Structure 1
């Protein structure tokens, strides 16, 4: 059976484009290494400070560099050879990780070095991600972009599942220095994928990086109602339907199982992402991507609502602790979270495809940079919503209310935008 015509993932982009295949493999291996370093830095900071607050500040410190680099990196990708921009970004990431390993091996690492190098990695990864995504439509035909997005979902699921688990295991068995060094080795695969690419210069009118380029991108976005709509829908989903910040407290106070439950809940989302990509053969053939985004995000809201219901049941069950977890409720919570990961990934497939197909090449870098800002900023706003509301009320209330809000707001906004609902992947319009 042809994978592209069945339920299994369509591997056609890997077969027809060796350049895309090399970049995909390189990005996947480097992504696993990147997750190794992200988790290892968190463990390293906690070992040096014994402070959860200090660990949380890693994400806060990296947010502004990620946002600024995403915007500026998008402008660079629209002004220069994208292959060269991606190689420079990969070089910066490689160098900062190598320095992190060297400092650790020599015992010279400090909390400030860990913060600074994490910020550099965050910025460089934003530039590299925006640039590599803008390259993809130049490597494969438009009708294969959805399949390529599904393949990227497989890569993301693998990195999120394998990276954190390997980090904990490697730190426990070998220490921080070896774990950082393994990431340095895995980063080499990114260079192999990028080095073999042909030159990828932007097509159309070139605008040099700067305020004029940024304003040009914003003007395009004002006219691009379909692209703008998908940003709004994603922000709604991530603001009201992002319960990740609650996981540590759930493992301690409500579901039981402690840190093990926290890890299981986190992995459940990635399992859903991976599984939905693996069985995306029919998904990528659906041509009405606006409608697909709407339904996928509403399904995401429903799964978060289900997660809230599971927690509500847990709140009225017998007390749980690290040694006596509610196994049945944990399984039910994982099912809900896996469904959320799956539906979010389906939405991501359609959103990425719309970005790559409907946006002209001369604008792709800037719009991808802005897309990264949305993707990075939304979950952090969601963490603020869930954390604040849980502090003021109880742990089950933020996902319960958030799921309802996601379903209602997306149905309301999408229902008023017929152009978005009728978006046709065979005739893409921004």
Structure 2
């Protein structure tokens, strides 16, 4: 049941990237809580908070796809470092706006858009570098450990942010976020270079379309993208958390609501040893996504704050199970020369959904109510996942032991003598 620590023990670059990412994640979650809360205080509008998702969506689509092409054409270490420095500059901008006598609303949307664009550049490079620094047989373990890193930051960041905002103000949260970017950047400088293949093509629309055609031809991969988008579109109501806490007369619970999802995910990660013995990853993705929607439905129905928090934790656990097996399918079956571009598509699948989910939840809440938006989205998620499973039989049939794509990637790594970045 315990997590497999072999990637941490055997790969220096993985340890470096994991530690740097943990620090960044903690700081990012401080802003994750502070930004919508500041927007709520300045506007008092659920729709205005939900609009953050719309503002983030276009930069995410454009730079996610282009960032994937960049990750195949340029040194992935350079892309990671450059985008990390730029994200730190965005945190500085949020801090300066907050220190004004009368903070403005528009810089919050600009910061959200810039962060989305920079994440679109950075995330494909982070995903694409993983198969180079970790052995093929350790990719499931690495996915679980990377998720655990995100969850530790996701639990600690919102909890600390809630206390900081309540007792010291928003500026302190933004200051700490800026400090974490500086520290993580210094650590990431230790990463070894990760140059592109010698015959890598320059970033182009043609190259992006090549990656898109490959994804379209892999219906089991297409299914993982579609399932995740549907789950997040309908059942990701975090834009409503500040308003839900008010309705429950439990303003103190806001930080816990944000922390509940990653806490549930962390419970799965710290007991993730069993995941390496699962081979039918497709059905696992489908069942976990349906479980996410069902738990979110109950969270929208119950009226006791501790029950809401409990079912948010359950939702996070199902999301983690789905995420581990999606990541394993991607990392074990996508060729290295396409890994960046496919990582860009992955970024859209697990990021565009949440952005649209914020817009959906905010819009439905403004037309109906906060609770109706939450539980109706959960039900729609379950129905949508069931329809996708019926429409994509290759996803339900996927088995890593018999997949020709997994076998081809494994043989390519063995013939190339890939070390996985080990000491």
Q: Please tell me the TM-score bracket, short chain as reference.
A: 0.7 to 0.9
1:239 maps to which of 228, 233, 258: 233
In structure 2, the CA distance between the partners of 1:96 and 1:405, relative to structure 1 (3 Å rule), is: closer
RMSD: 2.8
2-structure distance, mates of 1:229, 1:271: 26
Look up the match of 1:4. Answer: none
1-structure distance, mates of 2:149, 2:165: 23
Look up the match of 2:316. Answer: 341
1:410 maps to which of 385, 389, 393: 385
2:222 maps to which of 221, 228, 241: 228
Quick check: 1:24–1:193 contact (8 Å CA) kept in 2? no
Look up the match of 2:296. Answer: 304
Report the alpha carbon displacement of residue 50 of structure 1 after superposing the two structures with TM. Answer: 5.0
Look up the match of 1:266. Answer: 258
Report the alpha carbon displacement of residue 394 of structure 1 after superposing the two structures with TM. Answer: 5.1
* CA deviation string 1:144-188 (max 9, x = no partner): 111111112212222222222323433455455444332232113
Look up the match of 2:206. Answer: 212
Report the alpha carbon displacement of residue 260 of structure 1 after superposing the two structures with TM. Answer: 2.7
Quick check: 2:29–2:158 contact (8 Å CA) kept in 1? yes
2:12 maps to which of 18, 27, 31: 18
2-structure distance, mates of 1:57, 1:305: 23
Which one scores higher on RCO, CA 8 angstroms, separation ≥ 6? 2
2:394 is the alignment partner of 1:419: yes
* CA deviation string 1:248-274 (max 9, x = no partner): 444344xx2242344433332222111
1-structure distance, mates of 2:357, 2:216: 25
> Gaps (5+ residues) in structure 1?
1-6, 315-328
Report the alpha carbon displacement of residue 96 of structure 1 after superposing the two structures with TM. Answer: 3.1
* CA deviation string 1:359-399 (max 9, x = no partner): 11111111111222222221233344444445555555455
TM-score (norm 2): 0.85
2-structure distance, mates of 1:400, 1:59: 20
Look up the match of 1:146. Answer: 140
In structure 2, the CA distance between the partners of 1:410 and 1:96, relative to structure 1 (3 Å rule), is: closer
1-structure distance, mates of 2:52, 2:231: 24
1-structure distance, mates of 2:96, 2:234: 41
Look up the match of 2:81. Answer: 87
Give 3-state SS (helix, strand or coil) of 1:218's partner: helix
> Gaps (5+ residues) in structure 2?
407-423
In structure 2, the CA distance between the partners of 1:288 and 1:193, relative to structure 1 (3 Å rule), is: farther
Quick check: 2:162–2:255 contact (8 Å CA) kept in 1? no
2:71 maps to which of 66, 72, 77: 77
Report the alpha carbon displacement of residue 349 of structure 1 after superposing the two structures with TM. Answer: 0.6
1:351 maps to which of 326, 337, 342: 326
Aligned residues: 404
Q: Name the stretch that deviates more: 17-26 or 290-299.
A: 290-299
TM-score (norm 1): 0.84
1:114-129 to 2 correspondences below 5 Å: 114-129=108-123
